[in-house]
Amino acid sequence: MPSKPPSLLPEDDSYIKLLDELKRQIRSAQVKATLAVNRE
């Protein structure tokens, strides 16, 4: 029976929270950039 291959990503909650916050900040920056372009 083969063993489970090692995961390339850490599975702890702090990493997941970090990614969620990063995604939120990216979305926010994208919205701000879109609004700035539309104002011009």
Amino acid 39: pLDDT? 87
Interatomic CA distance for residues 36 and 28, integer angstroms: 12
Residues 6+ apart with CB under 8 A from 9: 15
CB 9 within 8 A of CB 15: yes
Mean pLDDT of 22-39: 96
Mean pLDDT of 17-28: 96
Mean pLDDT of 6-25: 85
**Strand, coil or helix: 30:** helix
Ordered alpha helix ranges (H), the chain: 13-39
Amino acid 11: pLDDT? 72
Tell me: pLDDT of 21 over 60. yes
Structure tokens at 24: 């939120």
Amino acid 33: pLDDT? 96
Tell me: pLDDT of 23 over 90. yes
Domain chopping of the chain, boundaries: 10-39
